[in-house]
């Protein structure tokens, strides 16, 4: 960029200015929050995984919380705005393999690089509260909490299916299995699935509460709550027994007991014990089970299955129906067995069609339903309607009762509605009501090195024994390069004495899922150095919940659900008090797309490096552009023009303030105009404040831009009033400062502000009463003048007269806004009688209008138009006269209406 000498002096040199203010904040400890603060505003961004690379998604995420935290701080709030590092995980292990280093050194380097970039972006964190999950002082508490959970009965060892590489003889993480063919990432051998015991946290114990409390999280986006509801997947149903000859009673789980007369086959999951029993004497079934268990869940379609030759007896009809083993029946859902009703279930319909099984209709639309029973053909497609089907997106408190499906061909139950039939069948068949959840327990075992060692020791005699508290943390041994889990190879580390009996024993070599780390890091920020507990219970109870949480939608389910689960458990074991939900308000920022509207990515070659933007334009430009481009939840495409525009705006504000500071502006005093500008300043502050509160930073910046351009016009139009102009500048700079903090500081200094703007007081936000109405009046009037000038074709207007409607017309409007029948109401009004016909005529014109706007009393209209007259003068180069109706000729006065002054233009 080339600039002339003079412009250069006026330009804002970000390379010099930004680091200077970053040090100033640091020295003044602006972002530090005292331990004894009571209930500070807790503003939190999801901490980053330590890839070492800051991308635009991060920049957006962190600019949002930073701007909001700065806004709240200026409003006088104590603000807790911490940052940390989600620093365990497989990528570090892979990087270490590739680079001949170890995960710790690699991770620490990444952290240093990212921290530097955060500082360069001007993000204001309390670095004394920095939390690093791979630090033994952090993961020690993962281990301690694991033991607390275990004590509370929330840890179990259960079998789980794992990826196994037969050649490396090791378990592989899902990420280590490559491609459709499922090859080991190291040796390209096709992997197997093996059932092995793993550690689980029994989150299912909290399924009901995790679901129910979603109803109260009204500071969360609806889609996230819905995703969690679906993930938890509550199904209310029943179980009843079918007798399978020779094998006895087999329980099924169903949500549609009303359809039981339509069952035409019975189906077992491949893992069901009865399926295994049948397989003992039936090769086809044995083969099918083996095939199904080796395959990946998604590889088999709904029609995959095999007939067993056995029959099950339907307890409702006494009918014998064929028993299949089918992969679409899941072993660990419900009872792992179901009766199938092809007429009323899509999957069953597809299966039955493929296997040529009967389809028998037992439900038809109720008379009041939209669908004609004649139009339902279950041979073609399943009729799945029952009126209460789609509950997942309905808050549990407001779910509809009842049903619009009615039973047919169901014996004595014919004619009943589905919902009622379900109740009656449970009784009649001696079934059990049963609630099932799709949510599974949380398997936290990972067979990798770079994670928290699970603090258990296995002893031949004592079984699993906990590592005693005083031996925590169980620190990771040195990293070794190996094909399998490096912890398995760490012989010296692995072999220990049993804490109970002293015999030779072996450490658990699995580490914890890194989601454990992120399930409580927001509590560690409260007391990051505490070495007697994971966090200070009293302070955490006071500071929680997080008031504003901002992060990516990719965490909508797992991270947020696990963090909610942890919070509830911690409350139950008395480590927290009264904070059963961790995050009050949640915002998921939208994606930053590349210029072409595609997702930004290195491989697509459309990535924009934050570092390049910082270097070229400065952090403030990047921050401002991102915040102006869209509201936080919306995605937007990167735009070089947008970046330029933000950059130019910052330079403009800078120049205006600089000219002011340099004493280059001539001042005078003009009462009405100064009044107008003064009121605009107040109104802008009020508007911007509200927009900041609502996380509509783009609107707040729009208001700020308008104020700055008003100040420029003010300066050009007249010799402005010094105090008003200065107040306008100060206000604009303050409104801008949370988003563009470096420019904010620089200008604050030029304007002789006290201390740092980061700690300055937010502008008082009292908008003048009815200001929106006043603005509308001014804007409408300006538009009307423009219309007249255009339509009449006036070249060079000399005088523009604006005449405000008389008081009695205001009275008529007031009556019209209230009354149903306008004309009689006006005619009956004593005060209006003397305006007789004129009042009636005016009432008639109002009666025809759909809505009648609020309006200001005549004196306020006069004042507002007089203050804003200069804008019209500037626009048309004419004199503007503002008068009340009785000061002008009747022919003009009669045209004036409240909110719409009469306009006369003379050439």
Least separation in angstroms between residue 498's CB and Zn ion is 3
Please report how close the Cβ of residue 128 comes to ligand ANZ at its closest, in angstroms. Answer: 49
457 binds Zn ion (CB under 5 A): no
**Which of Zn ion, ligand ANZ, none interacts with 665 (beta carbon under 5 to 8 A by kind)?**
none
Q: Which stretch binds ligand ANZ (CB under 6 A): 222-230, 250-258, 549-557, 878-886?
A: 250-258
Can residue 344 be called a binding residue for ligand ANZ (CB under 6 A)? yes
Q: How far is the CB of 187 from Zn ion (least distance, A)?
A: 36
Contact pick of 74, 191, 232, 341 for ligand ANZ (by CB under 6 A)? 341
Give the binding range for ligand ANZ (CB under 6 A) out of 147-155, 196-204, 337-345, 567-575: 337-345
Q: Figure out which of the listed residues 390, 461, 475, 615 binds Zn ion, where binding follows CB under 5 A.
A: 461
By CB under 6 A, tell whether 333 contacts ligand ANZ: yes
Please say whether the beta carbons of 611 and 117 come within 8 A.
Answer: yes
Taking the C-alpha atoms of residue 313 and residue 429, their distance in angstroms, rounded to an integer, is: 13
Contact region for Zn ion (CB under 5 A) — 70-78, 270-278, 279-287, 453-461? Answer: 453-461
* Alpha-carbon gap, residue 501 to 761, rounded angstroms: 65
Q: Residue 634 burial by CB count (10 A; 0-12/13-18/19+): exposed, middle or buried?
A: exposed
- Using rule CB under 5 A, residue 498 touches Zn ion: yes
> Which helix (H) or strand (E) element contains residue 117?
helix 103-120
d(CA 712, CA 202): 63
Sequence-separated (6 or more) residues with CB below 8 Å from residue 901: 781, 802, 803, 804, 805, 861, 865, 882
CB nearer to ligand ANZ: give 333 or 840: 333
- Which positions from 260 through 289 interact with ligand ANZ, judged by CB under 6 A? 269
Closest CA to 482 of 189, 186, 198, 193: 186
Closest separation in Å from C-beta 147 to Zn ion: 17
Q: Of residues 345, 364, 517, 774, which one binds ligand ANZ by CB under 6 A?
A: 345
In this structure, the dihedral spanned by the alpha carbons of residues 121, 514, 585 and 522, taken in order and rounded to 10 degrees, is -70
Q: Which of 247, 304, 256, 249 is nearest to 277 (CA)?
A: 247
Among 191, 210, 268, 329, binds ligand ANZ (CB under 6 A): 329
Q: Are 241 and 249 in contact (CB under 8 A)?
A: yes
- Our finding on whether 501 is near Zn ion (CB under 5 A) is yes
Residue 237 DSSP one-character state: E
| Cβ atoms within 10 Å of 192's Cβ, excluding its own | 13
Give the separation between CA 338 and CA 244, rounded to whole angstroms: 12
How many residues does the structure list for the chain? 907
Q: What is the DSSP string of 417-484?
A: BHHHHHHHHHHHTT-EEEEEES---EE-EE-SSSSPBP-EEEETTTEEEEPPGGG-----------SS
Distance CA 6, CA 314 (A): 93
Residues 197-236 as x/- pattern, contact with ligand ANZ by CB under 6 A: --------------------------------------x-
Residue 317 binding result from ligand ANZ, Zn ion, none, given CB thresholds of 5 to 8 Å by partner type:
none
Applying CB under 6 A, among 61, 142, 259, 646 the residue interacting with ligand ANZ is 259
Closest alpha carbon to 189 in 210, 211, 170: 170
Quick one: what does residue 329 bind among ligand ANZ, Zn ion, none, with the CB cut-off 5 to 8 Å set by partner type? ligand ANZ
CA dihedral 279, 281, 282, 287 (to 10 degrees): 50
Position among 240, 250, 459, 778 found at the interface with Zn ion (CB under 5 A): 459
* Residue 330 interacting with ligand ANZ (CB under 6 A): yes
Residue 573, Cα to own-chain centre: how many angstroms?
A: 29
> How many CB atoms are located within 10 Å of the residue 278 CB?
24
Looking at beta carbons only, is 348 or 682 nearer to ligand ANZ? Answer: 348
Query: How big is the site for ligand ANZ, counted in residues (CB under 6 A)?
Result: 17
Report the partner that residue 344 touches, choosing among Zn ion, ligand ANZ, none (CB closer than 5 to 8 A by kind).
ligand ANZ
Out of ligand ANZ, Zn ion, none, which partner does residue 462 contact, by CB within 5 to 8 A per kind?
A: Zn ion
Q: Which is nearer to ligand ANZ, 195 or 615 (CB)?
A: 195
Shortest reach from residue 77's CB to ligand ANZ, in Å: 45
Residue closer to ligand ANZ, measured from CB, 338 or 575: 338
884 alpha-carbon distance from chain centroid: 53
Comparing CB distances to ligand ANZ, the nearer of 235 and 482 is 235
Binding segment toward ligand ANZ, per CB under 6 A, in 107-115, 327-335, 409-417, 724-732? 327-335
Q: At residue 896, what are phi and psi to the nearest 5 degrees?
A: -75, 140
CA distance 678 to 670: 12
| DSSP letters for 667-692 | -B--HHHHHHHHHHHHHHHHHHHHHH
Find the part of the chain contacting Zn ion (CB under 5 A) among 144-152, 340-348, 462-470, 567-575.
462-470
Nearest distance in Å: CB 391, ligand ANZ: 10
The residues that touch Zn ion, with contacts defined as CB under 5 A, are 459, 461-462, 498, 500-501, 503
The residues that touch ligand ANZ, with contacts defined as CB under 6 A, are 235, 253-256, 259, 269, 329-330, 333-334, 336, 338-339, 341, 344-345
């Amino acid at each position: 960029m080339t600039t002339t000498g003079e412009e250069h002096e006026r330009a804002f040199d970000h390379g010099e200015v930004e680091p200077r203010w970053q040090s100033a904040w640091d020295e003044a400890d602006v972002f530090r929050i005292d331990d004894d603060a009571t209930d500070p505003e807790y503003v939190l961004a999801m901490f980053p995984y330590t890839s070492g690379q800051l991308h635009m998604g991060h920049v957006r995420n962190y600019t949002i919380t930073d701007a909001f935290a700065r806004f709240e701080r200026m409003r006088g709030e104590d603000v807790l705005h911490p940052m940390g590092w989600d620093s365990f995980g497989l990528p570090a292990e892979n990087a270490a393999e590739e680079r001949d280093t170890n995960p710790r050194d690699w991770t620490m380097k990444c952290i240093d690089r990212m921290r530097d970039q955060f500082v360069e972006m001007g993000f204001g964190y309390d670095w004394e509260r920095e939390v690093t999950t791979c630090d033994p002082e952090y993961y020690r508490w993962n281990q301690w909490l694991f033991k607390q959970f275990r004590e509370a009965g929330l840890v179990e060892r259960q079998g789980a299916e794992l990826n196994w590489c037969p050649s490396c003889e090791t378990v592989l993480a899902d990420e280590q299995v490559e491609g459709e063919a499922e090859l080991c990432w190291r040796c390209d051998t096709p992997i197997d699935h093996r059932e092995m015991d793993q550690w689980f946290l029994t989150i299912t114990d909290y399924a009901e509460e995790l679901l129910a409390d979603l109803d109260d999280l009204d500071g969360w986006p609806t889609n996230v709550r819905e995703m969690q509801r679906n993930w938890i997947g509550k199904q209310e149903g029943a179980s009843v027994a079918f007798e399978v000859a020779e094998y006895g009673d087999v329980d099924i789980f169903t949500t549609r007991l009303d359809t039981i007369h339509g069952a035409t086959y019975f189906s077992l999951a491949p893992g069901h014990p009865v399926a295994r029993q049948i397989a003992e004497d039936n090769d086809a079934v044995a083969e099918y089970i083996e095939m199904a268990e080796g395959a990946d869940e998604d590889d088999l379609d709904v029609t995959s299955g095999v007939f067993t030759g056995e029959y099950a007896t339907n307890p409702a009809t006494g009918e014998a129906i064929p028993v299949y083993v089918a992969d679409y029946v899941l072993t660990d859902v419900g009872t792992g067995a179901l009766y199938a009703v092809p007429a009323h279930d899509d999957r069953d319909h597809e299966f039955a069609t493929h296997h040529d099984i009967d389809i028998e209709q037992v439900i038809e639309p109720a008379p009041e339903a939209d669908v004609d029973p004649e139009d339902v053909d279950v041979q073609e497609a399943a009729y799945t309607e029952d009126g209460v089907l789609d509950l997942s997106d309905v808050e549990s408190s407001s779910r509809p009762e009842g049903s619009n499906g009615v039973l047919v061909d169901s014996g004595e139950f014919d004619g009943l509605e589905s919902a009622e039939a379900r109740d009656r069948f449970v009784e009649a068949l001696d079934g059990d009501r049963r609630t099932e959840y799709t949510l599974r327990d949380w398997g936290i075992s990972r067979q990798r090195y770079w994670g928290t060692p699970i603090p258990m020791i296995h002893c031949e005699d004592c079984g699993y024994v906990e590592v005693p508290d005083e031996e925590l943390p169980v620190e990771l041994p040195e990293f070794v390069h190996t094909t399998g889990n490096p912890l398995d190879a760490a012989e010296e580390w692995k072999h220990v004495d049993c804490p109970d009996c002293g015999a030779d024993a072996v450490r658990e070599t699995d580490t914890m899922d890194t989601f454990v780390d992120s399930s409580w890091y927001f509590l560690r920020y409260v007391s990051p150095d505490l070495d007697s507990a994971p966090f200070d219970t009293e302070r955490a109870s006071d500071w929680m919940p997080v008031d504003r949480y901002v992060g990516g939608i990719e965490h909508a389910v797992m991270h947020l659900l696990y963090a909610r689960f942890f919070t509830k458990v911690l409350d139950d074991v008395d480590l927290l008090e009264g904070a059963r939900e961790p995050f009050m308000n949640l915002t998921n920022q939208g994606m930053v797309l590349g210029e072409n509207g595609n997702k930004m990515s290195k491989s697509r070659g459309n990535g924009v490096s934050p570092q390049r933007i910082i270097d070229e334009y400065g952090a403030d430009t990047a921050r401002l552009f991102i915040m102006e481009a869209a509201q936080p939840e919306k995605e937007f495409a990167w735009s070089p023009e947008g970046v330029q525009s933000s950059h130019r705006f910052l330079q403009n504000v800078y120049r205006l303030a600089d000219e002011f500071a340099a004493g280059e502006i001539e001042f005078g005093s003009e009462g009405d105009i100064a009044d107008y500008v003064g009121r605009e300043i107040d109104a802008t502050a009020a508007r911007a404040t509200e927009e900041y509160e609502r996380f509509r930073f783009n609107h707040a910046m729009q208001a700020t831009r308008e104020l700055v351009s008003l100040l420029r016009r003010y300066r050009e139009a007249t010799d402005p009033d010094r105090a008003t102009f200065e107040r306008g500048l100060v206000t604009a700079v303050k409104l801008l400062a949370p988003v563009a903090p470096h420019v904010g500081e620089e200008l604050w200094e030029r304007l002789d502000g006290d201390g740092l703007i980061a700690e300055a007081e937010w502008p008082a936000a009292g908008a003048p009463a009815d200001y929106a109405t006043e603005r509308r009046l001014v804007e409408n009037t300006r538009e009307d003048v423009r219309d007249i000038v255009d339509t009449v074709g006036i070249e060079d207007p000399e005088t523009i007269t604006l005449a405000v409607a008389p008081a009695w017309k205001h009275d008529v409007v007031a009556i019209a806004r209230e009354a149903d029948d306008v004309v009689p109401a006006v005619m009956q009004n004593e005060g209006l009688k003397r305006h007789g016909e004129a009042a009636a005529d005016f009432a008639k014109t109002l009666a025809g209008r759909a809505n009648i706007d609020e309006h200001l009393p005549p004196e306020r209209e006069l004042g507002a138009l007089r203050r804003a007259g200069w804008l019209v003068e500037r626009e048309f180069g004419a004199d503007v006269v503002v008068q009340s109706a009785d000061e002008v000729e009747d022919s003009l006065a009669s045209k004036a209406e409240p909110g719409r002054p009469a306009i006369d233009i003379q050439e």
